[in-house]
A and B are shown apart, each in its own frame.
Chain A
Amino acid sequence: MSKYNLDYLDELEAEAIHILREVAGQFEKPALLFSGGKDSITLVRLAEKAFRPGKFPFPLVHIDTGHNFEETITYRDQMVARLGEKLIVGYVQESIDEGKVIEQKGKNASRNTLQTVTLLDTIAKHGFDACIGGARRDEEKARAKERIFSVRDEFGQWDPKRQRPELWNVYNGKIHKGENVRVFPISNWTELDVWNYIRREKMDLPSIYFAHQRDCITRNGQLMAASPFLNMDEADSIISRMVRFRTVGDMSCTAAVESEADQIDDIIAEISASKISERGARLDDKVSEAAMEDRKKGGYF
């Protein structure tokens, strides 16, 4: 091996920075979709590496379901203050108040699918032509098929049968007015890669990623954080458990895992040994075999 070989994390990082700079170079009005989860926090770190000491050539955009973990919002606001970058928030509550979407009812109600409408409205309102997201191909089998530059029509729809060929490291960002491109710089990263990168870069994360004592209820065999956003009835009993979260969606669709891992080394050890996939704790993927494919066709992240 020659000395001119990149370690895998360096290679993944260099690829992601290249993609972010392509977005800056090719689009008029890009945005970075920020959820407060570890993947979008990683994107922010990569954007610092791509553009500092300059400003980011895009704002951060958060689609706020209103059903947040409080820790995530605290983290978000502190991070934005530290970065000195612009944050735009699109509120699902506003979409509900305007009558554009209707709140789901019943025990499994979640605002997860409602987000799509708020996201598309926010894109239209600000005229974003590219939205950078933290999705990874190892997460789910429809995502495994998606391009790094993934074109959406003016209705936000992904057409998996008509994806543009994507060759070498050349990305075609040409679009018609009204269309936009979803860009996924960490497509080729795995969950473990993200954690190893967070450790290497000594990045801070919202505290819910680390083991903590929390009131939970059991729903469909999974532990859910007890919260006012979860429709509970007499059959639900609150139990206190030592848990952490592997992904951060809104409180009504993200399940906790029982864990004692309160340090990043313990988390990496736990994930390496885990027999359950990351999205195994996401109720939104369990609806059917094509749940993610169908949501992406409808304009989801």
Chain B
Amino acid sequence: MNILKFFTAGSVDDGKSTLIGRLLYDTGSILADQLEALQQSNRKNDDGSIDLAILTDGLRAEREQGITIDVAYKYFQTDKRKFIIADTPGHIQYTRNMVTGASTANLAIILIDARNGVVEQTIRHSYLVSLLGITNVVICINKMDMEGYSEQVYNSIIEKYKILAANLELKGVTFIPVSALKGDNIVNRSEHMPWYTGTSLLDFLETVEVTGSETTDFARMPVQWVIRPQTDELHDYRGYAGRILSGTFKVNDKVTVLPSGNSSVIEKIEVFDLNPEEVFAGMSVTLHLKDNIDISRGDVLVNSAHLPQSSQLIEADLCWMDNKPMDDSITYFLQHNSKLTKCKIREIIHLVNINTLEKEESHQFKLNDIGRVVIKTADELAFDLFSENKANGSAILIDSRTNLTVGALMFRAIVE
């Protein structure tokens, strides 16, 4: 059994929290004492039934205001799969929290209110999905019950959406007409929409093939920690501990250490008390090399046949996440996996108006702004392009004055 991580985009008004509540409720993932707590709560639907949205709004401020402010993670499982839901806020002022929740997801669910169709928010959410390179997208046309379960309404919305998806080069888009409130096509196929021949949302989530950047052939392992017991019996033990970002490593593979460029050969692989011949993306392992070369935290081990890019000047998409606007006169920290270095913003190429997708000139980056920049790093980075390898193609910016995480970077091109 494997895990599917997905995030939901949409606002409370679209029924996003209700949809998640419905998935949890109909799969029996809400337990009696939680249900009892819900029933005692003051928030009820107009017809007196339980408001499933309050299942996901975990903070007092959220319950008071009836909105989602920050990401909540929810867990459920069926016989086929385990699911991790990042329930993210849809309002524009919480874009950074949506980016947080979306960054680890391998599938996105975007909700469209059948009464309103494709709106500004739909464009924004779809843009973020495309920006973050999520290749599985489910468009749930919700509140079908309020539009008489009309096939015509559904068709006209998906025709409009297909134009947007083409513009954004979104791949793997699936459409499902649902009513989260009534439970149509969420867990069970709806009886109200015989014209819809596809699967229910849950059926789809259980069976969709999960693909990600993990499948790339390019072996990368950032070194997090060097294990050196320095005891009498393990005097010469030097193990390079890390989690493999992408690709596979095998015993006898020739590897290069970056940024130094030194090479060696894998002598032994350890996964605690096992010694596998081959390890792959997602695994936390310890590698031993034949030669004794200088390697420490922040270095990355790569397959010598497929070297990453190396540069101090990189073109990247930047999502700004701090209340304080970006300041191109100061130096930020840049954290790229286990590597910490310094960084300046050299140039703003453009900002993207995330409601219209138009590129705009700008001299500043404010909270929730997204655009293209050129950065210069203090040390050379060994990176891949985000489109080819998400894990080695992304980094965060940290304000050295406040220590806050202020930006998300997705590397798009090397600057010659």
Contacts and interface: CB of A to CB of B under 8 A. Distances in A.
Interface in B381-410: 390-391, 394-396, 398, 403-405, 408
A280 to B, nearest CB: 4
B283 A167 contact: no
A78 interface: no
A115 to B, nearest CB: 22
A262 interface: no
Contact of A276 (B1, B32, B224, B338): B32
A174 B400 CA distance: 9
Given A174-B333, A276-B32, A289-B41, A2 B215 contact: yes
Interface string A153-169: 00000001101111111
B268 interface: no
15 contacts: A4-B214, A8-B2, A21-B225, A21-B243, A24-B225, A25-B297, A50-B284, A51-B227, A53-B229, A145-B58, A160-B61, A167-B405, A169-B104, A190-B77, A293-B59
B378 interface: no
Interface of A: 1-2, 4-8, 10-15, 17-18, 21-22, 24-25, 48-55, 57, 137-138, 141-145, 160-161, 163-170, 172, 174-176, 187-188, 190, 192, 274-277, 280, 289-290, 293
Nearest to B84: A188
Sorting the interface of chain B by its residue count into under 10, 10 to 19, 20 to 34 or 35 or more gives 35 or more
A140 to B, nearest CB: 8
Contacts of A169: 104, 243, 337, 391
A228 B63 CA distance: 40
Contacts of B390: 168
Nearest to A171: B335
Interface in B332-373: 333, 335-338
Contacts of B336: 170
A4 B248 contact: yes
B306 interface: no
Nearest to A191: B75
Interface in B69-91: 69-75, 77, 82, 84
Given A25-B338, A144-B72, A176-B403, A168 B282 contact: no
A11 B2 contact: yes
B23 interface: no
Contacts of B31: 274-277, 280
Interface stretch (B108-116, B234-242, B253-261): B234-242
